[in-house]
Amino acid sequence: EITDNLNISKQLSALEINIEEASRKIISLITIFIVQTIIMPLLFLWFFIAVVKSLFTVKFDNDIIALMFNKSKFSV
């Protein structure tokens, strides 16, 4: 056990493995943070705006409206 503690190359390789695992976890956490705080709110905002636009967009056919007004003028 004492020789294992003094084996610097073995300790360095174990440290390297720990650093690789930590960096993968950090990258994963950064990715999750970006998705949750930036991308998802932007997508929900875009979806909300699209729904509101579609609800308040009313298309009128001007020819039909003009015919309706002309008919009402003659019938009165």
**pLDDT tens per residue, range 7-39:** 888 889 999 999 999 999 999 999 999 999 999
CA neighbor of 31 nearest in space, from 42, 19, 21, 23: 23
Cα 59–Cα 60–Cα 62 angle in degrees, nearest 5: 145
Contact 15, 21 (CB under 8 A): no
Q: How confident is the model at residue 74 (pLDDT cuts 50, 70, 90)?
A: low
Cα 70–Cα 74–Cα 75 angle in degrees, nearest 5: 115
> Mean pLDDT, to the nearest integer, of 58-64?
72
Task: Enter the pTM of the model.
Answer: 0.59
Contact 10, 4 (CB under 8 A): yes
